[in-house]
Amino acid sequence: MNAQILSPELSPPDSSARERVTANWLRDETEMVNSLLPEAELPDSEREKVLARASALVERVRKHADEQSAIEAFMRQYDLSSEEGVLLMCVAEALLRIPDTDTIDMLIRDKLGDADWQKHLGGSHSVLVNASTWGLMLTGRMVNLADDTRRDVRSAMRRLAGRAGEPMIRAAVHQAMRIMGHQFVMGRTIDAAMERSEKKRNRRYRYSFDMLGEAALTQPDADRYQQAYRDAIKAISTDPDAGDVIEASSISVKLSALHPRYEFGKRERVLEELTEKVLELAQMASERGIALTIDAEEADRLELSLDVAAKVFAHPSLEGWNGLGMAVQAYQKRAPAVIDWMIDMARKYKRRWNVRLVKGAYWDTEIKRSQEQGLSGYPVFTRKPNTDVAYLACARKLLDAGSDLIYPQFATHNAHTIAWVHQVAGKRSYEFQRLHGMGVDLYDEVIGKDKLDVPCRVYAPVGSHEDLLPYLVRRLLENGANTSFVNRIFDEEVSVDELIADPCQSVHDFKSLTHPRIPMPVDIFAEQRKNSMGVNFANENEIRQLANEINQHQGPWKAAPLVPGAKTPNGTTVDVTDPADHRRVVGQWIGGDESTVDTAIGNAVKAQPDWDRVPAEKRAQIAEQAAELLEAHRGELVAMCVREAGKSLPDGIAEVREAADFCRYYASMARKLFGAPQDMPSPTGETNRLFLNGRGVFVCISPWNFPLAIFVGEVMAAVLAGNAVIAKPAEQTSLIGYAAVKLLHEAGFPEHVLQFIPGDGA
């Protein structure tokens, strides 16, 4: 009955390159960038050619500033360095998810009412942007009128006009979001998108159509997206003049749209079910002579996507088809290893990959998730030039692989990147890619025999505005940032030299290759306290380590009162069974009796005054040592959370992290509040100071649903304030409480100050 809690046996990697993908997840950024620089740097003569070509591109584009696309003009006018740009992004992100009109009205009033829209009026060459500004300015005025609380008749009329106008304002903002969406989306349906791709200037481009939709939460959602991809492949393949698999329009697929549990924890199920779905689409694409590219998503899904792609790529039914591709994100530290792995796969199966090299669109998410999860580092580069260097190094790797193994597709809106690739590629076969609605003016100077004469493919989203939200927000964040090339290319205040700066030179100029304002996850609370460290449940190496830690501790565990001088209780021993399998006895505990309680209270009353006189700094140091011990015993504590409390593994890790956080947080508060008297406001000639002291004896009774975190949190708050504590856990989780108190004693809390009595809750 002692089955392992977590099996460390995972599928063996299929190559040394695959192992490097896992190993490079959180690799040191400085080391990584220094290893990539030699691949990205060019000899001075070639470097000067790249800068000259990039400069010429920018100069020619700026001559046509009045002709820039509506969405580029909009993003320039309302970039994320402006308050109005941030407000618009907030509205765009939230509006389509709000089901009721009252909440929509409150959102619009809150976000749009106080912004200074008037300063943007007439600030753009685009008629659409200026019209949008007028609408936003009037919306803000009407909202402000509705908020006027003065009691005169004129104000009452204004409030009436405001209330009457709310439905109109709501409809106008919805329409603005739809207009913005239209600039980012090729068409509501695949037929409409393909028809639009044949019009005027659009005919010069190749296309990769993406059916909007991601993160399917239910099986019906996943089935709906699967059918949308089937229909799109059929529609794309109807063009008799499309050309070969490279020249023809293609399809882009998001794996998260095809499976409701696309996560590493469901790896076996995903490999069986999702692989079958992707293979079906790949077979359809193969039969119709078009390419299919698997889009890149969040970092914790990368390795799972490689496993799915590997099974599809190697399938015998795709023999002779060179149309399967993957997007590779250069901002991830694993990107070079992913490319090495793809080259290995191509050699092994004698097929070619199409590789769309992008810089990445989830940067904010990856940084914040790493901090939230307490990882040992970041999966992405913290500085933009570091990502640009990685992109160039990856580009060279793709070009050097050979056209029989890799067809490179360079997705970029950056003039220096375009010029660099064109210089290094020479006569080798490749294409550029851009987003629909972005970079039009730049690529007007790239495609065509009288220009750089390199083909460009447009990544063209297809779908209704209801499905637009996640994609729209990523584009707003990505291209509204004040470091975005798209945002800055028409800004005359930004010099051409600054705009086309060689990222290699920028990196050499940095004093530190890591961003000085982005601390490591462990340091995000600065000097206040250390962040608790978590586990990356999508990294095979960390899972193996966690499995080894946990499986060393299978029980049985025991618990009894920890009360100095108390007699052994006469109560019966209570068996503890695993909530997941009641046949498995994981330990026993003995509860306290009245005599135990009396002794504990006597001990506490006697010990509290001396404990209260212990300096706050000393108490805080003990608490911080307790946090270290909790994390050092993570394996056993997680095992107990699983076996006694029925917790999942992520919840077990969260219990340990929160318990450690409580120790460190209350330690910092003890120093602040109890370390020295606080000066209070005083009348002239008088000095008042506030001294904080313990109040006496506290009984801390914790619930079963957070058997470690809340148990430790209650105890820490009381004991660090100078009180003696008697801790009583929920009867369902006495073993965990006992183990925690033993560690707190080991850290230095006196046994008479902190006592433990398990017992029946009633």
Half-sphere exposure of 755 (CA within 13 A, CB side): 28
SS3 assignment, position 613: coil
Q: Residue 469: its pLDDT value, please?
A: 61
CA torsion sign for 246, 249, 252, 253 is negative
Kindly give the residue spans of alpha helices, DSSP state H, lying in 426-468.
440-444
Q: Which of 700, 706, 712, 719 is nearest to 758 (CA)?
A: 700
201: buried, middle or exposed (CB in 10 Å: 19+, 13-18, 0-12)? exposed
Q: Identify residue 342 by its one-letter amino acid code.
A: M
Residue 406, pLDDT score: 98
Q: Which residues contact 145 (CB under 8 A, 6 or more apart)?
A: 158, 159, 161, 162
Q: pTM of whole model > 0.75?
A: yes
Compute the distance between CA of residue 404 and CA of residue 343 in angstroms, rounded to an integer: 10
Per the DSSP assignment, residues forming a β-bridge with 518 are none
Given the structure tokens 């148990």, which residue do they identify?
A: 711
User: What's the start-to-end Cα distance of the chain, in Å?
Assistant: 32
| pLDDT for position 171 | 64
Pairing, β 697-701 against β 724-728: parallel
DSSP structural state of residue 296 = P
Nearest to 87 by CA among 117, 57, 49, 60: 117
Residue 675: partners with Cβ closer than 8 Å, 6 or more residues away: 615, 616, 617
**Who's near 261: CB < 8 A, 6+ residues apart?**
269, 270
Going by C-alpha positions, the residue among 459, 463, 468, 462 that lies closest to residue 208 is: 459
Look at residues 119, 113, 115 and name the one whose alpha carbon lies nearest to residue 146. Answer: 113
Integer-rounded Cα Rg, in Å, for the chain is 31
CA trace torsion 458, 477, 113, 76 (10° rounding) = -60
Alpha-carbon dihedral angle through residues 241, 246, 247, 252, given to the nearest 10 degrees: 90
Amino acid identity, residue 258?
Answer: L
User: Quick one: pLDDT at residue 5?
Assistant: 76
Where helices occur in 150-266 by DSSP H, the ranges are 153-184, 190-197, 219-236
Alpha carbon distance 371, 160 (integer Å): 48
CB atoms within 10 A of CB 448: 14
> For position 452, what pLDDT does the model report?
93
In the chain, which residues have pLDDT < 70? 1-3, 8-15, 65-97, 107-182, 465-487
Give the span between the Cα atoms of 209 and 582, in whole angstroms: 53
Q: Are 341 and 326 in contact (CB under 8 A)?
A: no
Is residue 278 a contact partner of residue 294, using CB atoms and an 8 Å limit?
A: yes
